[in-house]
């Protein structure tokens, strides 16, 4: 039932003390640093519970958003791509992550100007990749990633989310579980791009929990969304609920806290 190739590793970065100085579009208050550290620790423990070996990077004060490592790279089984984040304040994070990835990947591709791309806009669904065009990822960046992935025998399609309110990245409203099954928020469920998939819809009010992460038979899910977690369990998934309140205040979801491969 599950993805045949298991994930083995993940890269995470501890939130920096000035984490609250990062970018956000939501008005949920200032995150508490101590709680953020605790939540990050619990997240790391959950990844280990899923069987992943972690590379834990030190906090980097130069980049308050750098705990959201997912935005800096796209890691597929057959290729690795460094991104060019759409927010100028995050550009330097890529060089930092490239040093770590160089230890794992023999070849690193990149997205470069005029293209911009955030990893949070890239949803892997087996051998297919959905690439969001958003406030962060532009058409040139999305097209370049699609070309790269295609050259490695993947398929890719672009999903323009610029008219969808309330989501920063494509994966804020979309996730791939397994077995041709996609999690979608209401605002995305009619999109032609997702025809042919089994769509599991997240109820209005629980949209934040659409950003769940399927790893080696487990699904990590944001705590506090009981209907959604119940639905996942009914579908046969083993869920691990994680408190994400402090990251949500900074527009971050579960997937953005790690690079999994």
By the criterion CB under 6 A, which residues form the site for ligand CIR? 22-24, 65, 68, 70-71, 87, 90, 120, 168-169, 172, 250-253, 256
Active site residue 256: yes
φ/ψ bin of 130: left (φ > 0), alpha (ψ from -120 to 50), beta (otherwise): beta
Least Å from the CB of residue 68 to ligand CIR: 4
How many CB atoms are closer than 10 A to CB 187?
16
Q: Which is nearer to ligand CIR, 27 or 106 (CB)?
A: 27
Active site residue 189: no
Query: Can you tell me the distance from the alpha carbon of 221 to that of 212, in angstroms, rounded to the nearest whole number?
Result: 5
Q: Which is nearer to ligand CIR, 100 or 235 (CB)?
A: 100
Contact (CB, 8 A) for 131 and 159: yes
Q: Which is nearer to ligand CIR, 22 or 141 (CB)?
A: 22
* Owner of token pair 């057959």: 78
Give the distance from CA 115 to its chain's centroid: 19
Strand order of the β-sheet with 128-133 is 122-125, 128-133, 155-160
Least Å from the CB of residue 195 to ligand CIR: 25
Contact (CB, 8 A) for 251 and 25: yes
Contact (CB, 8 A) for 201 and 184: yes
Least Å from the CB of residue 246 to ligand CIR: 12
Least Å from the CB of residue 251 to ligand CIR: 4
* Owner of token pair 């939540």: 39
Contact (CB, 8 A) for 14 and 37: yes
Query: Can you tell me the distance from the alpha carbon of 104 to that of 111, in angstroms, rounded to the nearest whole number?
Result: 19
CB-nearest residue to ligand CIR: 120
Q: Which is nearer to ligand CIR, 24 or 98 (CB)?
A: 24
Q: Which of these is catalytic: 40, 109, 123, 169?
A: 169
Contact (CB, 8 A) for 215 and 48: no
Q: Which residues does 106 contact at the CB level (< 8 Å), separation at least 6?
A: none
Least Å from the CB of residue 169 to ligand CIR: 5
Least Å from the CB of residue 135 to ligand CIR: 9
Query: Can you tell me the distance from the alpha carbon of 205 to that of 31, in angstroms, rounded to the nearest whole number?
Result: 21
Active-site residues, by number, are 169, 256
């Amino acid at each position: 039932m599950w993805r045949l190739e298991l994930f083995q590793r993940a890269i995470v970065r501890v939130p920096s003390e000035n984490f609250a100085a990062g970018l956000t579009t939501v008005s949920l208050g200032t995150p508490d640093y101590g709680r953020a550290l605790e939540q990050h620790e619990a997240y790391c423990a959950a990844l280990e519970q899923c069987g992943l070996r972690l590379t834990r990077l030190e906090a980097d004060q130069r980049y308050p958003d750098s705990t959201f490592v997912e935005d800096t790279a796209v890691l597929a089984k057959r290729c690795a791509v460094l991104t060019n984040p759409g927010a100028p304040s995050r550009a330097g994070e890529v060089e930092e992550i490239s040093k770590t990835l160089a230890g794992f990947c023999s070849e690193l591709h990149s997205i470069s100007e005029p293209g911009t791309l955030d990893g949070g806009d890239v949803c892997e669904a087996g051998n297919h990749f959905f690439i969001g065009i958003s406030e962060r990822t532009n058409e040139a960046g999305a097209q370049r990633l699609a070309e790269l992935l295609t050259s490695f025998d993947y398929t890719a399609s672009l999903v323009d989310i610029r008219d969808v309110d309330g989501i920063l990245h494509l994966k804020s409203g979309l996730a791939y579980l397994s077995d041709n099954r996609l999690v979608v928020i209401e605002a995305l469920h009619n999109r032609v791009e997702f025809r042919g998939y089994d769509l599991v819809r997240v109820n209005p009010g629980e949209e934040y929990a659409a950003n769940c992460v399927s790893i080696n038979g487990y699904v990590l899910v944001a705590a506090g969304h009981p209907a959604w977690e119940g639905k996942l369990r009914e579908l046969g998934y083993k869920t691990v609920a994680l408190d994400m309140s402090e990251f949500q205040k900074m527009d971050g979801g579960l997937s953005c806290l790690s690079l999994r491969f």
